[in-house]
Structure 1
Amino acid sequence: MSEKFWDKSYSDKAFVYGKQANRFVQVMSHRLNPRSAVACFAEGEGRNAVYLAELGHDVIAYDQSSVGLKKAQQLAKEKGVSIQVEQKDLTKEMVPANKYDAAVMVFGHVPREKQRFLIHTMLASVKTGGYLILEVYSEDQLAYRTGGPKETAMLYNPIDLLTWFREQKWIHFYYGEAERHEGIRHSGLCHVIQVVVQKQ
């Protein structure tokens, strides 16, 4: 999906995925050390980045949509915290390596042939001992029709994720159903893949 697509998607005055952080991010945020440097990938309107900033972390949000990132800064101001934002096409561009204590991504869906690059970029950005936390829709999500892309090629296969993170220390892996109510775009029972690994 293009920058133009996401700019249009986020152009609504309302926050289309809501202002509350993803539930999985909330549950797993306790693993981060105080004042961690955290990169949020494909962060859109900033709900997870702002939540992590509220916990006292130093957060940067990466996304290809300038409209989404502007709303992320708006939300941060509303919540009385500060975040950095940087516009970047994460299917083509790397971010600084070995810089962050954690990388977070929620429903960052890109074409199948670009998923490995995105995951590699996230992994490379984290220092040894740092965490990667992500929740994405699985290919089975198509049958649920409660959010996410409408094409299998934009969804994730659990074997791919297990393979791409095989050399890391596994903290958590889940492949199955979850209830998600996040704005107007994610609503109801869905099928997700959750990953938490520690970089080795």
Structure 2
Amino acid sequence: MTEWDQRFNEKEFIYGKDVNEFIRDHYDYIEEGGHIGCFAEGEGRNAVFLAKEGHPVTAYEQSEVGIDKMNRLAEEQEVYVEGVQMDLTKDPVGEEVYDGAVMVFGHVPKEDQQYLMDNIRASVKPGGAILLEVYSEDQLAYKTGGPPDTEAMYRPEDMLQWFREDKILHFYYGEAERVEGSRHTGLGHVIQLIAVKASA
């Protein structure tokens, strides 16, 4: 059983069942009815919300336990989400598959972050929107969620570099209140990005 399988292997949804606030407020940057890729989707809260809003959704998650819980949540909400078990830091998703992409708090070691972001970006068609919210390195001082050290946190300059070719519609580096299950509770420090992928 992997580390994430162990974390998700609880009856409760450790990050809750409700969509992330940033995604809820901004998902309409993705075209209506467009196919969305959800990356590092955990227990499925964002994917299920987007499916309820009428989007075809494919959700990627490394943990089999996470995907099982996502399937349960989708069934509970009477929607369908395609779940794919994959290590997004090693395996390519595919080129220009989705009309938009979403990732919330998908934290991986520094050496894997560019591959993950390139993977997400490559999967989106030109003109598609990419929405990301992650913890910054400053989150460590807040102790309200996220990895236990800065190794898997993100830097704003890296994020801007990874999406330098695209049209950035929104970029935020600062505090945000998040109450998401038992693992994200209170004021934290985040990086948010909304980018429209450049045409080739």
- Which TM-score bucket, shorter chain as reference? over 0.9
Q: Is the aligned partner of 1:136 residue 2:139?
A: no
What is the CA–CA distance in structure 2 between the aligned matches of 1:105 and 1:178, rounded to whole Å? 16
- SS of aligned partner of 1:104: strand
Tell me, which stretches of 5 or more residues in structure 1 are unaligned? none
- The CA deviation at 1:151 is 1.1
1:176-191 maps to which residues of 2 (within 5 A)? 176-191=174-189
Q: Matched residues in 1 for 2:56 and 2:15: separation? A: 22
1:40-98 deviations in Å (ceiling 9; x for gaps)? 00001000000000000000110100000010010000001011000000110110210
Deviation at 1:100, TM superposition (A): 0.1
CA distance in 1, matches of 2:150, 2:32: 38
Corresponding residue for residue 91 of structure 2: 93
Deviation beyond 4 Å, 4+ runs, structure 1: none
Q: Which residue pairs with 1:56 in the alignment? A: 54
Aligned-partner SS, 1:82: coil
| Separation of aligned partners in 2, 1:171 and 1:31 | 10
TM (normalized to structure 1)? 0.98
Q: How does 1:96-111 map onto structure 2 within 5 Å?
A: 96-111=94-109
Q: Which is further off, 32-41 or 16-25?
A: 32-41
Is the partner of 1:121 in helix, strand or coil?
Answer: helix
Shift of 1:33: 1.6
TM-superposed CA distance for 1:146, in Å, is: 0.1
Q: Structure 2 regions of 5+ residues with no counterpart?
A: none
The total of aligned residue pairs comes to 198
Amino acid at match of 1:172: H
| 1:8 to 2:19 alignment | no
Deviations 1:162-200 (A, max 9, x none): 111111001100000000000000000000000000000
Q: Which residue is equivalent to 1:30?
A: 28
Q: Which residue of 1 aligns with 2:113?
A: 115
Shift of 1:140: 0.0
Q: Tell me how far apart the structure 2 counterparts of residues 67 and 77 of structure 1 sit (CA, whole Å).
A: 15
Percent identity between matched residues is 54
Superposition pairs of residues 141-152 of structure 1, within 5 angstroms: 141-152=139-150
Letter in 2 for 1:85: G
| Residues in 1 aligned to 2:116 and 2:40: alpha-carbon distance in whole angstroms | 10
